[in-house]
């Protein structure tokens, strides 16, 4: 929710973050969407852990779209976020566009 939105603003301003671990914070769909927008604009972020955050379909789709544009990202951990087929399709497209990305979906 709101905390994730504030964190996303900090990420956008900092621009020097290479690893971000916010797993297990229950940020939800709105928070996931805010983090996705920050990730999309990052040029240095290499690793993102958003496991167990109840991102839902909206948050996962937003992150999938961000992954298609954030070419610096090498690893993302998305497990335990109740990813739907729509979310999986967007993530698959991101994997096709970003050949260096390692995606962990353990416990979808």
Q: Give the model's pLDDT for residue 33.
A: 97
* Sheet hosting strand 102-104, strand order edge to edge: 19-21, 47-49, 75-77, 102-104
DSSP-assigned states of every residue in 54-76: --HHHHHHHHHHHHHH-TT--EE
Per-residue pLDDT at 23 exceeds 90: yes
* Each residue's pLDDT tens digit, 29-74: 999 999 999 999 999 999 999 999 999 999 999 999 999 999 899 9
- Residues 24 and 50: their CA atoms lie apart, in Å, by 7
The more confidently predicted of residues 107 and 13 is: 13
pTM of the model: 0.92
- Res. 107 pLDDT band, cuts 50 70 90: low
Record the tokens describing residue 57, joined without a space.
Answer: 């379909």
Mean pLDDT, the chain, rounded, equals 92
Structure tokens at 69: 């544009």
């Amino acid at each position: 929710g709101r905390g994730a939105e504030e964190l996303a603003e900090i990420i956008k301003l900092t621009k020097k973050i290479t690893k971000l671990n916010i797993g297990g914070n229950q940020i939800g769909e709105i928070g996931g969407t805010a983090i996705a927008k920050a990730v999309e604009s990052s040029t240095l972020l290499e690793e993102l852990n958003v496991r167990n955050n109840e991102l839902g379909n909206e948050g996962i789709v937003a992150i999938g779209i961000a992954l298609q544009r954030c070419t610096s990202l090498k690893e993302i951990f998305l497990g335990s976020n109740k990813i739907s087929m729509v979310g999986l399709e967007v993530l698959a497209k991101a994997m096709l566009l970003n050949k260096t990305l390692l995606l962990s979906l353990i416990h979808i």
